[in-house]
Amino acid sequence: MPLKIVIATRGSKLALTQSQWVAGQLCLLEPGLEVELLKVTTTGDKIQDVPLAQVGGKGLFVKEIEEAILEGRAQMAVHSIKDMPVELPPGLHLASVPLREDRRDVFISASGLGLMELPEGARVGTSSLRRTALLLSLRPDLEVVSLRGNVDTRLRKMEEGQVEAIILAAAGLSRMGLSRRITEFLPPQKMLPAVGQGALGLECRQDDQETNRILGKLNHPRTWMEIQAERAFLAGLEGGCQVPIACFTEIRETTMTVEGLVAAPCGDPIIRRSISGPHDQARKMGADLAGTILEMGGRKILDEVYCR
């Protein structure tokens, strides 16, 4: 019988685009493979009128999808890694990470003005606490508006005048063929990306040898090392959804540099540090950087946010 894999995925346009791309790549790498998509509605998809930080954050977009794998209705899932919690359910693991897309944030304005050109008091929409904090650190005079919804919904809300501008991930716009809408790319120096931003994570059962074998063909070694460092950094901070956390990795030859930050939700203070070392020590560097940031003031921010 022909080999078949069912991919569990959210039903948004971006999620389907990403899953269809993965399906196509797997079929190229494994001749004769049959791939089917299973659309799953997650809690995060159902709750659109409440900020993510108030209702549970990252796990909202993966729980029902992971249940589909554990129940045998699907063999794997395609996630945006920035939506994945550090801790995965027993029996599941991150099996493969394809080549990463552009990890930068982008600024899109209805007027065509750049971030630093917007008039005082202009409204900028985002659902991300990280983007909110970094935006306020750059432009404390702006009004940040909580904006939920998929890419098309956020663009429409901007066009309707609910906000003057929005901040989104470059990778999602690129995958959807909407890069023309970008007003300005925001470099990491200004807007440090989220952990795993621009990367896809392929999740499956640890004991599913055949699926693991096939997914391994799509793994990109450099991206894998970057993700190991960034997720170790997040784990070291016990990263929750109520605190702005960001991380950026860069590999040059055999050296990796990991830069991370923890910020107060209002954008002040921000504790930002970096660390460099051999790329085969990715997880250790991520964990060490988290420890450094905690010692330099990150722990105080976390304690204040969590009222500890």
Kindly list the catalytic residues: 83
Helix H or strand E segment including 9? strand 4-9
Q: What sign has the CA pseudo-torsion 113, 119, 122, 127?
A: positive
Please, are residues 64 and 47 in contact by the beta-carbon 8 Å criterion? Answer: no
The span from the CA of 230 to the CA of 239, in Å, is: 11
Coil, helix or strand at residue 47: coil
Query: Residue 56: left if φ>0, alpha if ψ -120 to 50, beta else—which one?
Result: left
281/258 Cα distance (integer angstroms) = 11
For residue 141, give both structure tokens: 């005079």
Write out the DSSP string of 234-291.
HHHTT--TTS-EEEEEEEETTEEEEEEEEE-TTS-SEEEEEEEEEGGGHHHHHHHHHH
CA 255 to mean position of chain CA atoms: 24
